[in-house]
Chains A and B, each alone.
Chain A
Amino acid sequence: MRRKQSRFSRLILAAAAATILFPLALIALWSVSSVWEWPGVLPGGFSLRGYETVFADYQQMPRLLLFSAELSLAVAALSTLVGLMTARAIALYRFPGRKLLLFGTMLPILVPSTVFGMGAHVLLIRAGLAGTLRGVILMQTVCALPYTVNILTDLTSSVGDGLEEQAQVLGCPPWRAFWAVSLPELLPGILSAMSMAYIISYSQYFLTLLIGGGRVRTLSTVMVPFLTGGDRTVAATYAVTFLFSVLAMYLVFEGLIRLMARGKGSEPWNWN
């Protein structure tokens, strides 16, 4: 009975892994195919035409990648900083309005960013932030905040402030107590919050398009017209480029987390 169960579980995992990996492999194959006509199940030939097209201009693509990464790092840093402050308020203090704050910070996950974006657009126009990088960063930070608050609240309450208080009792100023005692403990969690916020920002299409008004161009917004365009090889190449660039940054974050946690690895978020 037990063995049958674990065979079933293994079957599920294998099916899931195949379903997840197969479409990605298919895109990779499309990106290096030269001709692939219906009803061929395999490409008729291979070439690097897609990559030559996408990277045709030596300047443009690297610049676009760099700009997208910078924008998303800014969003990650900002939403993690605000998230950490909020998490400390929620996890370490009991105060009137605490629950409201906790639920309020979760709202941007549940209310779609289309509704928020179209409503806030006019406000940003009035404030002179529409069509600017600052406006896009601001809006994306709102969307990433629930994730960073969530990850960091759990972590902050598990680290607690006992040691920090002891340091203060021994005459350490509060800032230094946080910096020297709690921060090193929190660092892996801070990095996984940043990693999550980075991915959310890097993938963002609608808000960047709406608020950026075409003036803030990220890889995510630039590639979309190509994705459904006629040339599937070029579309696939954009997708592969996107996935590699997001995976590269994810591995950087993950590597830093491993380094900080000294081999403990990252835990799944505990939302519960």
Chain B
Amino acid sequence: MLRPLQRRKIRRRLAPYLLALPALALLGLFAAGLVSGLMQSFGYIPAFGLTRFTLDYYRGVFADAQLAASVKLSLWISVSSTLISVVLGTLLCTALVRLRKVRGFTLQTVRLPIQVPHTVVALFTLCLFSQSGLLSRILAQAGLLTSQNQFPNLVFGSSGSGILLAYVWKETPFVAYFVLALMQSVSQHLDEAAATLGASPLHTFFSVTLPLSMPAILRAGLMIFAFSFGAYELPFLLGATSPKALPVQAYIEYIDPDLRHRPYAMALNGIILLLTLLLAAAFFLVTEHTAKKLGGDGHAT
């Protein structure tokens, strides 16, 4: 017979694992999905009679000019939209904290883009920046254009500018919202101290508020980079017929009736996976580093 105290001890030891069980099942599905994709990218698809592991499909991706262009386009869109969104989002967050608008109507407005799906963002990007969009109409009214074709093909051009603008609209508020909690607490505790010691507001921002908010800014940046590198909706709805962004190209290969295209789809996904896992590692390092400095565990401080 176990004494009640012992029973309690055992229960406390087992409880977290039991509580985590459903999440572990879901994460198991997640991991299985990734492993299944990776195996297929190495050419292991027994259902198609392919059982030899090979790196040929990855080599094939980089040898194919069109697929290589996809990789480059996706990198360009993600790098530029992330950099712009992080800078603008931090600025927006600073303004919110400075004016103490950390709740209420202003914050709700800033939160609004989180509720607007990418597909709808694509629609108004068209309404604004396509050759028949509002911007081209305004230029025409000003007498700068006489036909739609004179307006640069921002949305469906190969530069991916439309996709980039759409991501910036969606992600800038996300960065601001994500960083808000940390920057607010930093500013609450330290701004006044710095001001008392004679620092100018600008100096306080660059030497106190910004560096201390950096972990959250970095993590927001890593999240939106990973997202924009792998998301399907915007580059599917906007962008040129060629080159296509990685996830769009991957899905095209995936649904190709010729099943020999399948491993190429998975190799493109493998590239996305490799890059996002590296970002995930960076994300966790930033989290851990912050946790050590703050003496917590990066969550729940």
Footprint of B on A, CB under 8 Å? 1-2, 5-6, 8-10, 12-13, 16-17, 19-21, 23-24, 26-27, 30, 38-41, 81-83, 85-86, 88-93, 95, 98-99, 101-120, 122-123, 138, 141-142, 145, 149-150, 153-154, 156-158, 199, 202-203, 205-206, 210, 220, 223-224, 227-228, 232, 235-236, 239, 242-243, 246-247, 250, 265-272
Contacts and interface: CB of A to CB of B under 8 A. Distances in A.
Contact of B95 (A13, A91, A123, A265): A13
Interface in B171-186: 172-173, 176-178, 180-182
A141 B27 CA distance: 10
A110 B140 contact: no
A114 B272 contact: yes
A46 to B, nearest CB: 16
A147 to B, nearest CB: 11
Chain B CB count within 10 A is highest, among A1, A86, A157, A202, for A86
B13 A95 contact: yes
B156 to A, nearest CB: 10
B180 to A, nearest CB: 5
A114 B301 CA distance: 33
Contact of A119 (B40, B104, B280): B40
Contacts of A242: 117, 120
A221 B61 CA distance: 30
A92 B99 CA distance: 36
A66 to B, nearest CB: 19
Contact of B126 (A17, A228, A268): A228
Contacts of B190: none
B215 A272 contact: yes
B37 A119 contact: yes
Given A19-B169, A41-B138, A154-B300, A111 B117 contact: no
B95 A12 contact: yes
Interface string B90-124: 01101110110111101101101111111111111
Nearest to A157: B300
Contact of B94 (A9, A86, A236): A9
Given A5-B98, A118-B269, A227-B123, A112 B32 contact: no
Nearest to A21: B109
Contacts of B33: 116-117, 119-120, 123
Interface of B: 12-13, 15-17, 19-24, 26-27, 29-30, 32-38, 40, 47, 91-92, 94-96, 98-99, 101-104, 106-107, 109-110, 112-128, 132, 134, 136-138, 140-141, 145, 148, 169, 172-173, 176-178, 180-182, 200-202, 215-216, 219, 222-223, 226-227, 229-233, 237, 247, 250-251, 254, 265-266, 269, 272-273, 276-277, 279-280, 283-284, 290, 297-301
Interface residues of A: mostly helix, strand, loop or mixed?
helix
Given A6-B98, A154-B300, A268-B107, A223 B119 contact: yes
Contacts of B254: 118
Interface residues of B: mostly helix, strand, loop or mixed?
helix
Contacts of A104: 23, 27
Contacts of A120: 29-30, 32-33, 36-37
Contacts of A83: 23
B178 A271 contact: yes
B272 A112 contact: yes
A247 B115 CA distance: 8
B12 A271 contact: no
A81 B141 CA distance: 56
Contact of A111 (B121, B127, B276): B276
Given A85-B23, A110-B222, A115-B272, A16 B92 contact: yes
B230 A115 contact: yes
A23 B128 contact: yes
A271 B276 contact: no
Given A20-B113, A116-B30, 8 more contacts: A38-B136, A40-B137, A101-B24, A109-B227, A120-B36, A210-B251, A242-B117, A272-B216
Contacts of A30: 127
